[in-house]
Amino acid sequence: MATLQKIRSKGALLLIVIGVAMFAFIAEELVRSISSTTNEGRTHIGEVNGKTINQSEFNQLVAEFTDVLKMNGQIPEQESSEISQQVREQVWSQTVQQTIIEGECEKLGLAVTDQEIQETINKGTHPLLSQAAPAIFKNQQGMFDVNNLKQFLSQREEMLNNPQMGPEQREQVERINNCWLFIEKQLKSALLIQKYQTLLANLVISNPIAAKANFEARINETDVVLAGLPYSTIKDEDIKVEDAEIKAKYEEMKELFKTNIETRDAKYIDVAIEASAADKKQLNDEMLGYEKMLKGDSIDAAAIVSQSASLVPYPVFAQSKANLPADVQSRIDSLGVGQQTPIYYNATDNSTNIVKLIAKTSVADSIEFRQIVAAGQDVKKARKSGDSIYNALVAGAPFDSIAKKYNQPATKQWLTGQMYEGTNTMDETNKKYINSLLNGAVGQYTKLEVDGGTLIVQVTDKRNYTDKYNVAVVKRSVDFSSDTENKIFNEFSAYVAGHRSLDELINSKETKYVVKDASNIQSAAFNIGGVQNSREAVQWLYNDKTKVGDISELKTYGENNNHILLVALTAIHEKGYRTLEDENVKNFIKNEIIREKKAEKLIAQLNGKKSVNEVAKLQGAVVDTVSHVTFAAPVMLQKMMAQEFSLSGAISAAAQGKFVSGIKGNAGVYAFQVTKKYKTEEKYDEKKELAQLAQNYGSMVLQGKMNELQNNAEIEDNRYRFF
């Protein structure tokens, strides 16, 4: 009772203490929640219609897609940062499109089942399978073969867990596996998009009348003699444009200036750093030394190439022509074994080179094999066991029976050139292992003593024989020295220090440093002014702290840090409609008005002219003969360097011998006379025409719907904060 009374007497104090404790608990949870949300925000590179795109998941997709491109030879193994950025951009575009369509399909109840995916894989004709699948999944005709896929998947774990697998081979198996995982995911999305497209296509019904009109538009052809008056025959300054006209035209064309993404304008100075005469002489002297070393008969080509610090290391194995640099490929067939090129310069990669052909052989690019491992803690017993297995197999014992006796799988595996070509380093065991496969005859058994035991290998099939080359390539970049770099950087730095503001830079009379414009730069842009690896400059433009008028620090960019960039932010264009305050918009509209007024003046010159010959006498007229004009395609005018849609309609509608003038086009105004009208020999097939028309309409509807969905989508792109 006394205790209860004591509690009552301290009640107010207890409530305060409990309240403080409760507040502390709530505050702790609130802080934890805010921290968690903040951390999540740091990993979100974007959002599409409320669905966040996580950085780690996006990076995984990029890595998988990169492997697909590398495995198919579409990008080099050592991709540049520029290529990496392009791959990320493609994955982002695909992710945005897929997210939008998946959202629409979810509303419509459209889905792709696992059974549909498997049926597509079994059929093997889907374009994604033939285009993206690694060579190991294809047959000799280069077509996707589901049996090759099944064989790989059944052997995948065994290969990864095989102790005899070298790290390079294991990495190759993992890359092939990652490629397939990516293809599976993309296949599901592709089938879903296909269903969505089919649904939209079925909303449009083609009819016999439209089919017949489409056919007629294609087979009816016309020949004309034509005269054009280019807009360039009238000077821009001779056309007066009022501000009121610009404003009225802007309202008429306003929808053209609507944008769903923020862009920024910049001015920049790009200073290239190039090798000096002294730098080039020093490199040439070194190359003369390597040229002399390679000319010997008994040389260590690998050692010479390594000593030269060549950009193309000497490979462990002969390699396919496609794995060599393009400039080496173009010269290799003109060399006999033992011959070498003189020193030559390759402008594409700014390198000086020497190429020597050491050997040329015809080797199977795909080798099927099987193996049995005799291993154990007692190496002596393992060796003895290996000898017994080898002798039994050579004597004719069935491989499957021997494998089963020693608890070994009898499955066959494939080794392809992609799995070992281009390898620059490899331990002797793996080198001996691959050479046994390359040099072994079909059906032959080879016994290899490896660490811990013996390996018996049998080659069971060889396919795709191709020429492979042992080539010593000394490729050196024509680089500038640090002294040259410092000299150019310091000179530019001193110039910038004397021009502290943007106005001073723009109005400078110095011709050595030219200020250039870069308009409508998106946050996903790869570079500024085409300078490689200048993504960081784009990130600076979009930094929250960067304001209009700010000038960046001097920084080196480029493939080999061979450019110095100075960048200034000049304008920020928010999402929505561009206004007439935007000089680009204003100039575009002004030019459109000028073009229309020029058209009026030129058409007036055509009044009263009754033939092409009369029009041809006008100043600046261009005369041409155009054949096979149809209503289905624009008229291509080589002399005017333009394609004209308006002419295709006017010409197709004109009668034989008819003279028509005053046709306004993209590049000028035209007059023509029909010289011949005729039909092609194509026969009308209503069923085929209806199907083609339905396909065309379906594609148009899908493209239009996708544009609508993308324009209406809530897309937040924060990639510039991460990459």
Same domain, residue pair 597 and 663 = yes
Average pLDDT over residues 352-367: 90
Q: What is the CATH number of the domain that holds 470?
A: 3.10.50.40
Residues 183 and 223 occupy one common structural domain: no
pLDDT in tens, 123-157: 988 988 888 888 888 887 778 888 888 888 888 88
- Total domains in the chain come to 4
Cβ 355 vs Cβ 332: under 8 Å: yes
Q: Is 666 helix (H, G, I), strand (E, B) or coil?
A: coil
DSSP, collapsed to helix, strand or coil, labels residue 301 as helix
What is d(CA 173, CA 159) in angstroms, rounded to the nearest whole number? Answer: 8
Q: Count Cβ atoms below 10 Å from residue 266 Cβ, excluding itself.
A: 21
- For residue 381, is it within any domain? yes
Using an 8 Å Cβ cutoff, are 196 and 109 in contact?
no
Is 223 inside a domain boundary?
A: yes
Q: pLDDT band at 377, cuts 50/70/90?
A: low
Type of residue at 173: V
Cα(457)–Cα(389) distance, rounded to whole angstroms? 11
**Range with the lowest mean pLDDT among 80-84, 471-475, 542-546, 627-631?**
80-84
40 within some domain: no
Q: Specify the length of the chain in residues.
A: 723
Would you say residue 216 has pLDDT above 70? yes
Structure token pair of residue 683 = 């026969």
pLDDT tens string 319-348? 888 889 999 999 998 999 989 999 999 998
Please identify, among 547, 574, 601, the residue that sits at the C-terminal boundary of a domain.
574
Minimal CA–CA distance to 163: which of 366, 317, 371, 369? 371
Q: How far apart are CA 51 and CA 103, in angstroms?
A: 9
Is residue 550 over pLDDT 80? Answer: yes
d(CA 412, CA 427): 24
As a whole number of angstroms, the distance between CA 551 and CA 492 comes to 14
- Tell me, yes or no, whether 164 and 94 share the same domain: yes
Residue 189 maps to a domain: yes
Looking at the fold, whether 587 and 561 belong to one and the same domain comes out as no
318 and 463 in one domain? yes
My answer on whether 333 and 442 are in the same domain is yes
311 and 236 housed in the same domain: no
Residues 416 and 326 in one domain: yes
Please indicate, yes or no, whether residues 306 and 454 belong to a single structural domain of this protein: yes
Picking from 554, 574, 594, the residue at the C-terminal end of a domain is 574
| Range scoring the smallest mean pLDDT among 28-37, 88-97, 409-418 | 28-37
pLDDT digits (tens, 9 = 90+) for 647-700: 999 999 999 999 999 999 999 999 999 999 999 999 999 999 888 887 787 778
- For the record, the structure tokens of 383 come out as 């060796």
Q: For residue 39, what pLDDT band results from cuts at 50, 70 and 90?
A: very low
> So what's the pLDDT on residue 179?
86
Calculate ∠ Cα 573-574-577, nearest 5°: 90
CB-CB contact of 274 with 582 (8 Å): no
For residue 295, give both structure tokens: 């000319």
Residues facing residue 357 across a β-bridge = 471
- Indicate whether 23 belongs to any domain: no
Q: Are residues 354 and 469 in the same domain?
A: yes
Interval 553-607: pLDDT, tens: 999 998 788 999 999 999 999 888 888 988 889 999 999 999 999 999 999 999 9
Give the count of alpha carbons within 13 A of 5, CB side only.
2
Please check whether residue 179 lies inside any domain of the structure.
yes
| Residues 379-406, mean pLDDT to the nearest whole number | 84
Model pLDDT for residues 140-199, shown as the tens digit of each residue? 777 888 888 888 888 888 887 777 667 777 888 888 888 888 888 889 989 998 888 888
The residue from 556, 574, 592 where one domain ends is: 574
pLDDT at 426 over 90: no
Residue 605 sits in the same domain as residue 638: yes
Tell me the CB-side half-sphere exposure of residue 108, using CA atoms within 13 A.
16
Helix (H) or strand (E) run with residue 662 in it = strand 659-664
pLDDT-derived band at 5 (thresholds 50, 70, 90) equals: very low
Q: How does residue 238 score in pLDDT terms, banded at 50, 70 and 90? A: very high
Which stretch of 204-208, 277-281, 477-481 has the lowest confidence by average pLDDT?
A: 204-208
Please state, in angstroms and rounded to a whole number, the distance separating the CA atoms of residues 109 and 318.
Answer: 54
| Site of tokens 């998106």 | 522
pLDDT band at 387 (very low <50, low <70, confident <90, very high): confident
Per-residue pLDDT for 41 more than 60?
no
Contact 222, 626 (CB under 8 A): no
> Rounded to 5 degrees, what angle do the CA atoms 406, 411, 415 make?
120
Tell whether 33 is covered by a domain: no
Q: Tell me if 505 is assigned to some domain.
A: yes
Domain span including residue 673: 219-254+583-679
What is the side-by-side strand order in the sheet with 668-679? 622-629, 220-230, 668-679, 659-664
Share of the chain above pLDDT 70, in %: 93
- Residue 160 carries which side chain, given as an amino acid letter? L
Q: What is the CATH number of the domain that holds 510?
A: 3.10.50
Q: In whole numbers, what is the pLDDT of the chain averaged over residues?
A: 85
Is 406 found in the same domain as 326? yes
Pair 416, 365: CB distance under 8 Å? yes
pLDDT at residue 452 above 80? no
